[in-house]
């Protein structure tokens, strides 16, 4: 499947197997730090083996969690790699964009909506209060959040495309954020456009 084509620009081939793991924890495998507001934050690394998830002790939940997308492999289908944090993805693949319109810098790994274009969905096993990501898209993009019953509760919107090298007034890597109690599922939707997300974070 060919992805991220903009006019005559070539995109990417996706050919990767999905990986699975189970469980939920706040664990010592991640790098703890503080954010600019002095709140506890943590960088959550992918877990592929599933080994040791049941024997790790549960720690105090940090305020902010950032997923270490840079630790994913290029073209890796992203589903359960962060399930130990209660986070699962649907229709997402890790890429290192080479298309100039989506270029993030050498070696940068981001999430792209695939195989269905323009959509990334994320489900939280435990409710969160905030979700954010840096978005580059070929169409206007909406970040929407739902409760456990699937009812929409809050959304944020990027009103126009923001590809690199375009005449868009919106710079690439535009932040989209939602905040509300009891967020159980979110989606980035670019109305059939091409979409990538970087710096994915959520807060309890």
DSSP secondary structure, 24-79, as one string: B---TTSEEEE-TTS-EEEEEPP--S-TTTTTSPP-PPPSEEEE-GGGSPTT-B-S
CA distances from 199 to 7, 10, 49, 152 (A): 27, 25, 24, 23
Q: What is the mean pLDDT of residues 61-85?
A: 93
pLDDT tens digits for range 119-151: 999 999 999 999 999 999 999 999 999 999 999
User: Nearest 5°: CA angle at 79, between 78 and 84?
Assistant: 110
Q: Whole-angstrom Cα distance, residue 180 to residue 127?
A: 10
pLDDT tens digits for range 85-120: 999 999 999 999 989 999 877 679 999 999 999 999
CA distances from 28 to 57, 80, 84 (A): 9, 19, 12
CA distances from 77 to 17, 86, 105 (A): 6, 17, 21
Q: Whole-angstrom Cα distance, residue 81 to residue 47?
A: 5
Q: Whole-angstrom Cα distance, residue 180 to residue 141?
A: 19
Domains of the chain: 2-203 (2.60.120)
Q: How confident is the model at residue 50 (pLDDT cuts 50, 70, 90)?
A: low
């Amino acid at each position: 499947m060919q992805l991220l084509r903009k006019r005559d620009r070539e995109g990417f081939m996706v050919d990767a197997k999905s990986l699975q793991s189970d469980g939920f924890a706040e664990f010592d495998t991640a790098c703890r730090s503080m954010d600019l507001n002095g709140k506890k934050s943590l960088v959550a690394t992918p877990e592929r083996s599933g080994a040791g998830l049941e024997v790790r002790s549960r720690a105090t939940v940090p305020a902010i969690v950032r997923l270490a997308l840079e630790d994913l492999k290029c073209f890796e289908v992203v589903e359960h790699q962060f399930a130990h944090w209660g986070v699962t993805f649907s229709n997402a693949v890790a890429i290192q964009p080479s298309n100039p319109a989506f270029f993030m810098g050498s070696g940068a790994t981001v999430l792209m909506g695939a195989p269905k274009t323009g959509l990334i969905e994320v489900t939280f096993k435990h409710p969160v209060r905030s979700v954010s990501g840096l978005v580059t898209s070929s169409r206007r993009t909406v970040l929407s959040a739902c409760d456990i019953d699937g009812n929409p509760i809050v959304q944020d919107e990027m009103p126009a495309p923001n590809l690199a090298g375009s005449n868009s007034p919106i710079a690439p890597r535009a932040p989209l954020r939602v905040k509300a109690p009891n967020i159980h599922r979110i989606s980035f939707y670019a109305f059939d456009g091409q979409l990538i997300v970087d710096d994915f974070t959520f807060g309890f």
